[in-house]
Each structure stands twice: as structure tokens, then as C-alpha cells.
Amino acid sequence: MSAVPETAARQPRAWPGAYGDEARPRVGFFTDTSVCIGCKACEVACKEWNRVHDSIQGFSGSSYDNTLALGANTWRHVAFIEQRKPAALDGEAAADSLVQLAARRQLADEAGVETHEGEGIRWLMSSDVCKHCTEAACLDVCPTGALFRTEFGTVVVQEDVCNGCGYCVPACPFGVLDRREGDGRVWKCTLCYDRLRDDQEPACAKACPTDSIQFGELDELRERADARLAELHAAGQGEALLYGADPGDGVGGFGAFFLLLDEPEVYGLPPDPVAATRRIGGVWSAVGAAAAALAAGIAAAFLGGRR
């Protein structure tokens, strides 16, 4: 997927190593959107437990979604996508995804072939959350240490340390990090750090009635997700895919990953997220080379001057 070269370990920096004996198995979420009923119990449970501010924004007209995106006051967000079922070219099976569909339409237009709209409709629902990336750029750019990697391998903002500089906001490839108006500090999902320390699962997973949000040790969740994906594929849902389950992706895999029924773009998720800080190593070597060249030039100039 990614053009970025593999790093050696695919483990978060500062975990488990920095914790020594106190390190706990890395935990996360597997959000299986194929069983999400869009009840938003996760949004409410998250806010109740974490005392997140409410923000009544009014009717959005965006299907049943009136909170619209993850942000300082929305740490779990349920997206609603209404679709006509993917259309098909004459004589062909329906497209698996809207992206595929768009490509086919273009093809059809160019070739002057008839297409026909799918009969039914689809209503996709998906509960989004901070991905708790293996390589978390937000954490790398934080100058105060407010963002840190916990003993569970999760990424948490310490509200009493954050100075509101906002460097992390553009660093996040998902737009998760957000400064709260009138406060200035950054707020996001903590994966219920306080609950984890009490051996409780996060509030959203606890509230989810259909187990669309599953909490657990990341390794086990990935196995579960592979099995579920195979099950759906066997049942003819070829469009199902895992998003963020691959440690080889641009952020080293998500701590909170997803099973989607369409391409990530359809859900408003980046198809190929990359940690912005990944290239910093490369940048520094270029800077080093340039500095060396400059130094050589200066030395040459001086040396030349002596001549």
C-alpha cells in the first residue's frame, strides 16, 4: 500500500520498552461496521464517561448525522452514508464500491456504453474514533510532552500539560486532533485510559449493543477481524475490507482499526494515511548532506582564499 519503507519493528516508540515491567499488552478497538446499527450509544457513552462538552449544532441535513466529524467535543462519531446500491454495466455484476463504480462510469462514458442504477439502497454506518497509530505523528510533534504513549500502547493527551500550541492538529492524517473553542487545548479519545487502569473496557465498547465496537488486545482483535472478513467474503460480501489492520501501512497500523463495506473515502477516511513525521529522518539526512556540502564549499572557499 505505502511507498514508505518499512521500519524495523512496527512497534510504537516508547512502548513497550520505556515501561519495562509496567508495560501492558497493547490494546485497541476493532470497529466492525457491518453490524453497526447507527444507534450512537458510543457517542453518548463516551461523552457521559469523559464529561465531554455538548455542542448542539442544529439540523445538518447529512442523513442522520448531526455531529458531523470527530473533534474536541466528539471523540466517537457515527457516520451515515446513504447510497444507491452500486450500479452495473450492462451484462456485468454490480460494482463492489462507489470508487469502482465511478471508474466504471467513466469507462462507460468514454465507450458510450449504457449503465443502469442499482435497484436498492444501502445505508452505511460507521463509528469513527482516534486511530491510536503505531507511528503517531501527533505525539512526535508535541513539544510539551502533553501527548504521550501509555503503558497500553495508546496515545493520550494530558489536559494539564497541553499548552494549546496546536502542532499536533495538522500532523494527524485523520483530522482527529482538534482544539476546543474558548479553551485552546486539544481534546481527543483517550481510549478511556482511566477505565483501562481499572481493568474496565472503554465506555463506547461497553455501550455498543451489537458488538460493532470490540475492545481487546490488538493481536487478538486482528485475528478476529481476519476471520470476520473471511466470513463476509465467503457470504458474498466481496466489498468488505479491513482498514488500518495492516502494520505495513503509512502509520504502522492503527490501534483502532475498522472493517468497512466500501472504500475508506466513502466514509470520509483517507485511503492511504501516512504519518507526517515519517519523512523527518529523510529530511535530516538531506539537511546533513546539504550542511556537509556547504561546509565543504566554505572550506574550499577559505582554502581557495589562501591561495
| Residue 41 makes contact with another protein by CB under 8 A | yes
- Our finding on whether 106 is near another protein (CB under 8 A) is no
Site for another protein in 207-266 (CB under 8 A): 209-211
Is 121 a residue that touches another protein (CB under 8 A)? yes
Q: Does 115 bind another protein (CB under 8 A)?
A: no
Q: Are 210 and 28 in contact (CB under 8 A)?
A: no
Task: For residue 151, report the phi and psi dihedrals to the nearest 5 degrees.
Answer: -65, -15
Cα-atom radius of gyration of the chain, to the nearest Å?
A: 23
- By CB under 8 A, the count of residues binding another protein is 32
CA nearest to 138, candidates 190, 173, 163: 173
* Closest CB to another protein among residues 8, 56: 56
Per the document, the length of the chain is 307
CA distance 87 to 272: 25
User: Between β-strands 256-260 and 27-32, what pairing exists: parallel, antiparallel or unpaired?
Assistant: parallel
Is 82 one of the binding residues for another protein (CB under 8 A)?
Answer: yes
User: Minimal distance in Å, beta carbon 264 to another protein?
Assistant: 19
Does residue 94 touch another protein according to CB under 8 A? no
- Determine if 200 is a binding residue for another protein (CB under 8 A): no
Does the footprint of another protein cover residue 202 (CB under 8 A)? no
Q: For residue 16, say if its preceding peptide bond is cis, omega within 30 degrees of 0.
A: yes
* C-alpha distances out from residue 177 to 15, 170, 180, Å: 21, 8, 10
* Shortest reach from residue 85's CB to another protein, in Å: 10
From candidates 6, 69, 123, 230, binder to another protein by CB under 8 A: 123
Cα separation, 166 vs 158, in Å, equals 14
181 makes contact with another protein (CB under 8 A)? no
CA 159 to CA 162: how far, in whole Å?
5
In the bound state with another protein, the residue whose beta carbon lies nearer, of 35 and 169, is: 35
Which residue ranges make up the site for another protein (CB under 8 A)? 35, 37-41, 43-44, 47-48, 54-59, 61, 63-64, 66-67, 82, 84, 120-125, 209-211
